[in-house]
Amino acid sequence: MREALIEATAGVATPALVVDGAAMERNIAAAAGFFAGTKAKLRPHFKAHKCTELMRHQIAAGSTVGVTCATAWEAEVLAASGFEDVLVANQVADPRALGWLVNAARHARITVCVDDVRHLELLDATGERFDVLVEINVGQDRSGLEPGSGLLPTLAATRGNLRFRGLQGYEGHAVLKADREERAGHVAAAAGILSNERSRLEDAGIAVELVSGGGTGTYDLAAEAGVLDEVQAGSYVLMDASYATLGLPFEQALFCRSTVVSRQGDRVVLDAGLKALSREYGLPQAEGIAFTSLADEHATGTTDLDLKVGDVVLLVPAHVDPTVNLHPALTVVAEDGSTERWPVDGRR
């Protein structure tokens, strides 16, 4: 299969991201099939690939309730591209970013996360109508109110043009834990926290319509824990070397086409470095090559393979999200070997 991908993309300059279209479609179908059988639905996360064409394939497969994104810029791109229900799974406070949210809200239903009264003031001051989720810290220790915070009812009160919809909790500390039981433990703890916070609000007479969270590493555990209404998985569609260690039912669909630019003894140098591959989560992988370093424009490793200057190697990125963000487009190879160029149009 990898030889076929190399052949089909022979005209594409390296370094370049190449998608195995059939594997991508199988990943999409597997996720849609799973969420067809659960109460929680899928809200695919745009941040993983920032490609509206790919997102259209995900939505077309069904079992979804809208899309997730990480930034106001992404929300504007998604809304302008016709996606009608967009969740910004983070807080927004920059004036220009708030302006992008306003633009997005003219085309789509926009829901934004908050964890401070100031977020509500900033959103309301735009004069635009937004839905909000209050983010709860379920153990990741980044954004989000601490469980039991006295501020929760204040943030969940209706204010001006803003409508409270519910809660978000993202167990980012769990999604890449190697042991499934450990992931399950974190998911259960997060579900317990979100369930308590929901009860506190309902006891105070505040309706909670929606609880959102989850990720690729916990997609089934989070859905089955019974508290979430929607799961924000993104990496499942392309996968990477990190998620590949978790035994998920998704295939590697993203590769970086690279060229051997130097070979001296058993040392091989490829033309894909930090400007083509994130080294967050580690070095890229390729069968038969032991990579030792990633510099700005080069991956260096040792190999016994008969690789010569000009030969092509497909690399598996260690971390999909920041890797896709380094490229202007994906070259998608269909099963018949035909290719399409899909812009990474959510990249700034």
Q: List residues near a copy of itself by CB under 8 A.
A: 11-14, 47, 70-71, 73, 90-97, 100, 115-116, 118-119, 122, 137, 141-146, 172, 259-264, 267, 269, 271, 274-275, 278-280, 293, 295-298, 300, 308-310, 321-322, 325-328, 348
Terminal CA-to-CA distance of the chain, rounded, Å?
A: 33
Nearer to a copy of itself, 100 or 236 (CB): 100
Nearer to a copy of itself, 280 or 340 (CB): 280
Closest approach, Cβ 207 to a copy of itself, in A, equals: 25
Nearer to a copy of itself, 115 or 197 (CB): 115
Nearer to a copy of itself, 192 or 322 (CB): 322
Nearer to a copy of itself, 128 or 271 (CB): 271
Closest approach, Cβ 204 to a copy of itself, in A, equals: 21
Measuring CA to CA, which residue among 318, 160, 168 is closest to residue 252? 318
Closest approach, Cβ 141 to a copy of itself, in A, equals: 7
CA distance 17 to 126: 38
Closest approach, Cβ 293 to a copy of itself, in A, equals: 8
Closest approach, Cβ 242 to a copy of itself, in A, equals: 13
CA distance 158 to 268: 61
Closest approach, Cβ 58 to a copy of itself, in A, equals: 19
Task: Give a three-class secondary structure readout of 103-163.
Answer: HHHCCCEEEEEECCHHHHHHHHHCCCCEEEEEEECCCCCCCCECCCCCCHHHHCCCECCEE
CA distance 194 to 33: 26
> Would you call 108 exposed, middle or buried from its count of C-beta atoms within 10 A (0-12, 13-18, 19+)?
buried
Nearer to a copy of itself, 249 or 328 (CB): 328
Nearer to a copy of itself, 76 or 229 (CB): 76
Closest approach, Cβ 346 to a copy of itself, in A, equals: 11
Nearer to a copy of itself, 17 or 59 (CB): 17
Closest approach, Cβ 318 to a copy of itself, in A, equals: 12
CA distances from 179 to 81, 152, 169, 280 (A): 38, 33, 21, 20
